[in-house]
C-alpha cells in the first residue's frame, strides 16, 4: 500500500473514532424529555458551524494562501449544503427525537447509498467483492448495535428516524457528487469555505434557538460535551475526511462509518457498561473484513486498465 493510501486510512480512522463517541456525547448535551437541562439541537448546530468556521479560517492563516476558482466556490456551497448543513443539522435534530441505537442503525445505510451513488456520479462499478464487503460490514455493524447494552438514551421516534435517514442520504451524496471538487484543494481550504457557508446559514436560520439557551444553567459536563462536539467531532473530523477522500474511493471512505459502532461498544466496555464477548468479537471481525474487501475491490480505472491490457 502506498503512502497516500496509508495517510487516507489513518485520517479516516481518526475521524470515525471521534465520531464513534459523538452520538452518546451529543445525546448527553441535547435537550430532551430525559435531559431537560440540555441544549436545543439547532443551537448546538450553530455552535458547531460557527466554531468550526473560526477554527478553519484561523488554521488557514498559518498555511500558504490557496486561490479557489469562482465556479468551485459555487460547488463548495452546494457541498456544504449536503455535507454539513443537511447532514449535521438533521442528524442532531433527529438524535434529539430518537434513540442513539436507532441513529446508529440508520447510519449503516451510508456505505450502501454511497456505493450506488458512486455508480451514477463517478461511474464506479458495483463489483461482487465491493458489494459483499459493504453488506458484510453492514451486518457486523448492525450486530454490534443490536447486541450492545444500551442505557436510558431516549425512545424510538419515526420523525427522528426519518431525519437521521435524510441526513445519511445527504452525506452519501456529498461523498460522491462533490468528490472531484473536494480533492482539488487542501482540506483546510475546502473546509473553511464550506463551514463559512454553513455558519452563515446556521446563524440566519437558527438565531432564535440560540438566544433561548439558558447559558448560566448549563452544567460543566454539558459545556465539556459542547467543546468535544465543536473541536473534535466537527473541526478535527472534517479536517480528516477530505484527506481520506483525496486518496481513497467514496465507497471505502463511507465504509469507515462501520468503525463507529465498534468504537462505541469498546467505549461502553471500557467504562464498565457492557461486556465484550464472542458475538461482539465476531461482529467487529465482520466490520474489519468488510472494509478489507472493499479495499481489495477494483476501481473503474483498474478495470479499464485491465481491459486495455487484454486488447493489446
What is the predicted pLDDT for the residue at 161?
84
The pLDDT of residue 67 is: 93
Q: Which pLDDT score, from 0 to 100, does residue 152 have? A: 45
- How many domains is the chain built from? 1
Q: What does the pLDDT read at residue 205?
A: 86
- For position 307, what pLDDT does the model report? 65
Confidence (pLDDT) at 106: 79
Q: Residue 250 has which C-alpha cell?
A: 467514496
- HSE of 274 in the Cβ direction (CA atoms, 13 Å)? 20
List, for the chain, all residue ranges whose pLDDT scores fall below the cut of 70.
1, 32-35, 100-101, 148-156, 271, 273-275, 301-312
CA-to-CA distance for 81 and 198, rounded, in angstroms?
7
3-state secondary structure the chain: CCHHHHHHHHHHHHHHHHHHCHHHHHHHHECECCECCCECHHHHHHHHHHHHHHHHHHHHCCCCCCCCCHHHHHHHHHHHHHHHHHHHHHHHHHHHHCCHHHHHHHHCCHHHHHHHHHHHHCCCCCCHHHHHHHHHHHHHHHHHHHHCCCCCCCCCCHHHHHHHHHHHHHHHHHHHHCHHHHCCCCHHHHHHHHHHHHHHHHHHHCHHHHHCCCHHHCCHHHHHHHHHHHHHHHHHHHHHHHHHHHHCCHHHHHHHHHHHHHHHHHHHHHCCCCCCCHHHHHHHHHHHHHHHHHHHCCCHHHHHHHHHHHHC
Question: Do the beta carbons of residue 255 and residue 98 sit within 8 Å?
Answer: no
Q: Which residue range is the domain that position 258 belongs to?
A: 3-311
Per-chain mean pLDDT for the chain: 85
Hunting for cell 448492525 — which residue is that?
Answer: 142
**CB contact at 8 A, 250 and 114:** yes
Report which of 150, 154, 155 is spatially closest to residue 273, judged by C-alpha positions: 150
Q: Determine the pLDDT at residue 126.
A: 85
The cell for 52 is 468550526
pLDDT at 47: 94
pLDDT tens sequence across 217-256:
888 999 999 999 999 999 999 999 999 999 998 888 988 8
The dihedral sign for the CA sequence 25, 276, 135, 6: positive
Which pLDDT value is given to residue 8? 94
Amino acid at each position: 500500500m502506498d503512502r497516500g493510501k496509508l495517510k487516507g486510512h489513518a485520517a479516516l480512522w481518526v475521524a470515525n473514532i471521534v465520531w464513534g463517541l459523538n452520538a452518546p456525547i451529543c445525546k448527553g448535551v441535547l435537550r430532551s424529555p430525559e435531559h431537560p437541562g440540555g441544549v436545543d439541537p439547532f443551537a448546538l448546530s450553530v455552535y458547531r458551524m460557527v466554531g468550526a468556521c473560526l477554527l478553519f479560517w484561523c488554521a488557514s492563516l498559518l498555511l500558504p494562501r490557496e486561490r479557489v476558482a469562482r465556479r468551485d466556490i459555487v460547488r463548495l456551497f452546494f457541498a456544504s449544503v449536503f455535507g454539513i448543513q443537511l447532514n449535521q443539522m438533521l442528524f442532531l435534530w433527529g438524535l434529539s427525537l430518537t434513540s442513539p441505537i436507532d441513529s446508529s442503525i440508520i447510519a449503516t445505510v451510508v456505505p450502501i447509498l454511497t456505493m450506488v451513488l458512486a455508480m451514477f456520479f463517478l461511474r464506479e462499478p458495483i463489483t461482487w467483492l465491493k458489494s459483499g464487503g459493504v453488506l458484510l460490514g453492514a451486518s457486523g455493524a448492525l450486530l454490534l448495535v443490536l447486541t450492545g447494552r444500551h442505557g436510558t438514551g431516549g425512545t424510538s421516534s419515526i420523525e427522528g428516524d426519518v431525519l437521521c435517514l435524510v441526513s445519511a442520504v445527504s452525506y452519501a451524496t456529498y461523498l460522491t457528487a462533490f468528490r472531484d471538487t473536494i480533492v482539488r484543494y487542501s482540506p483546510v481550504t475546502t473546509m473553511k469555505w464550506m463551514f463559512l457557508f454553513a455558519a452563515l446559514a446556521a446563524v440566519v436560520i437558527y438565531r432564535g434557538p440560540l438566544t433561548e439557551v439558558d447559558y448560566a444553567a448549563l452544567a460543566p459536563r454539558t459545556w465539556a460535551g459542547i467543546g468535544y462536539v465543536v473541536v473534535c467531532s466537527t473541526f478535527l473530523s472534517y479536517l480528516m475526511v477530505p484527506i481520506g477522500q483525496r486518496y481513497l474511493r467514496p465507497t471505502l471512505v463511507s465504509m469507515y462509518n462501520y468503525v463507529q459502532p465498534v468504537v462505541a461498544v469498546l467505549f461502553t466496555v471500557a467504562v464498565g457498561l457492557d461486556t465484550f464477548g464472542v458475538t461482539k468479537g465476531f461482529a467487529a471481525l465482520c466490520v474489519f473484513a468488510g472494509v478489507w474487501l472493499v479495499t481489495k475491490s477494483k476501481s473503474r480505472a483498474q478495470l479499464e486498465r485491465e481491459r486495455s491490457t487484454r486488447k493489446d
